[in-house]
Amino acid sequence: MDTEEDMSEFLMPIDKEKDSSESALCGRKLPLWLGLLLLLVAVGLLVPMIYFAVIANSKACVDGLQAQKECQEVNQHVQRQLTQAQELLNEKKAEAATCKQAVVSHCSPSRGPRT
């Protein structure tokens, strides 16, 4: 092992002052410029988010959401009424077809009209 340490001295000269300053820098978890950049990004994202929250909770937006909810409820009510009307129409069509068939069979030419 001593020979490996001796070899490293030849490959990389040891500078005690440089080593101690590098270890002090490496002791920091985050470089200052990166910390400032992250802070800038955080503020850059926070400002639009606050703006959006204020706009989203404004009276006009809340009123618009309430109007949309009421419109959806009315739409669902009208849809139910339309479905009921279509079902009733289909029933009446079936009744009319039955009635028409009864009239046709009652007045068929082979039997002649009843008097």
Rounded CA gap, 64 and 70, in Å? 10
Q: What is the mean pLDDT of residues 86-96?
A: 96
Average pLDDT estimate for 96-101: 91
Inside any domain, residue 79: yes
Q: Does 78 map to a domain? A: yes
Cα→Cα distances 106→21, 45, 85, 91, 103, Å: 113, 82, 31, 22, 5
Q: Is 59 inside a domain boundary?
A: no
Structural domain for 103, as ranges: 69-107
Within a domain: 89:
yes
Q: What does the pLDDT read at residue 29?
A: 79
Q: How far is CA 5 from the centre of its chain?
A: 61
Band (74; pLDDT cuts 50, 70, 90): very high
Output the pLDDT for position 102: 87
- Give per-residue pLDDT as tens, 33-69: 999 999 999 999 999 999 999 998 899 999 999 999 9
Number of domains in the chain: 1
Name the token pair of 19. 């080593």
Share of the chain above pLDDT 90, in %: 56
Contact (CB, 8 A) for 113 and 107: yes
Q: Is 5 part of any domain? A: no
Model confidence at 82: pLDDT above 90: yes
Q: What is the largest CA-CA distance in the chain?
A: 132
